[in-house]
A and B are shown apart, each in its own frame.
Chain A
């Protein structure tokens, strides 16, 4: 799996919808023997995250990402603070 970048959500949607059609989404729900059971739960292949105004990133198998611009996993700041036993309330 690799990360890829799009300049807009619309561009991602266009690629993603075409890929889902090609792959036959929604995927059927199957049991461990491969028998189809119930309604399809798997409706999306991947999803997208906005990093900046013109930077929308997604993760995909390289075989489905021909022509896309390779990118990196987004990094978001985290404000987490570790307390020894408890936070001062």
Chain B
């Protein structure tokens, strides 16, 4: 059953916390989950799920900046225009079994924006395609993109959800939602590999320093949760309501 508790955020607004059982939970509003190298440049963003899947970045020029604000709460800014910011965890494979990924993002620049990805060509990425207003899509990094009918405009904050049974025999089918509204159909890609690497803010680290074949995420990441299952509509809506209310989407 749902394990609902109250959470008080920086604005003084009380909203329900997301349901228990997340596999990864990154909350930009929670200052206690960050370690910095200097100022607001983030060297570690700690996972609140209890699974210790912390995101790290050891190279100064690629460290994101917890300098953004969304709905009165701190958000993490990822730059993509010159140096590109990204963070990785190298012990978590979120794509090889069922998942529901829910996030609040504000895309600003970049192409093939990645909200959550694995690392390198041929791996799965959840994000947007190359156009603006960008189409919510999934990608086999550097190779192919399958697009839904949903869009999220540049400089607009959105709550996006990706739900899937995971990659099986190299294929994946994903249902995408924006603010609880489902895309008209699922999106599917094949020929995928999976790996125990999770990235935020970019899609490839093999062309360092964070070049990602010239694509990546420019904008804010406010909060991101991954559940290791396909959430029921009731549970999914509960987490979406939490995110929408908290971040003023």
Contacts and interface: CB of A to CB of B under 8 A. Distances in A.
A12 B22 CA distance: 42
B4 interface: no
A41 B61 contact: no
A1 B82 contact: yes
Contact of A43 (B44, B58, B83, B137): B58
B145 A80 contact: yes
Given A85-B188, A89-B190, A79 B36 contact: no
Contacts of B58: 41-44
Contacts of B137: 82
Contacts of B211: 49, 73-74, 76
B213 A78 contact: yes
B82 A83 contact: no
A27 B38 contact: yes
Contact of B59 (A30, A45, A80, A82): A45
Interface in A36-60: 37-38, 41-49, 58-60
Interface of A: 1-3, 27-32, 37-38, 41-49, 58-60, 73-76, 78-87, 89
Interface in B213-245: 213-215
Given A29-B43, A41-B56, A89-B190, A60 B61 contact: yes
Contacts of B130: 80, 82
Given A31-B36, A42-B43, A86 B187 contact: yes
Interface of B: 31, 34-38, 40, 43-44, 56-63, 82-83, 112, 129-130, 137, 139-140, 142-148, 171, 173, 185-191, 207-209, 211, 213-215
Given A1-B82, A82-B129, A27 B60 contact: yes
Contacts, number: 134
A41 B59 contact: no
Contacts of A84: 146-147
B61 A46 contact: yes
Contacts of A48: 208-209
Nearest to B148: A85
Q: Which 3 pairs between the two chains have the least Cβ-Cβ distance?
A: A86-B188, A42-B37, A41-B43
A60 B146 CA distance: 35
B85 to A, nearest CB: 11
Nearest to B34: A32
Contact of B146 (A2, A42, A87): A87
Given A47-B59, A59-B61, A85 B37 contact: no
